[in-house]
Amino acid sequence: MSIDQTPSTVLYQVVAKEMNTTEAAVRQATSLEGLGIDSLEMIEIVMAVEDRLGISINDRELHAVSSMPELLALIERSPKKATA
């Protein structure tokens, strides 16, 4: 994994792109609500992060997430997708 593909960097890039804001604004935000992320946007963000990092995020755990640090922690502990 290259330096620019760390879970935090990927998350901040994806959220910034999806929410049409800067990575700096995403890094400063704590709550997902504060960034204006709704459930549909969350699905799109998670799918993009899963694709870029090759991981599989647990949907049940995702529903309990309400902050950027919680989302990052979930991403960091998510298992790699099985390769066929």
Residue 84 pLDDT greater than 80, yes or no: no
pTM score of the predicted model = 0.88
Residue 4 pLDDT greater than 80, yes or no: no
Residue 1 pLDDT greater than 90, yes or no: no
Tell me the pLDDT tens digit for each residue of 9-56.
999 999 999 999 999 999 999 899 999 999 999 999 999 999 999 999
Q: Going by C-beta distance under 8 Å and a sequence separation of 6 or more, which residues neighbour residue 56?
A: 50, 78, 79, 80, 81
DSSP string, 21-68: S-HHHHHH--BTGGGT--HHHHHHHHHHHHHHHTB---HHHHHT--BH
Model pLDDT, residue 3: 52
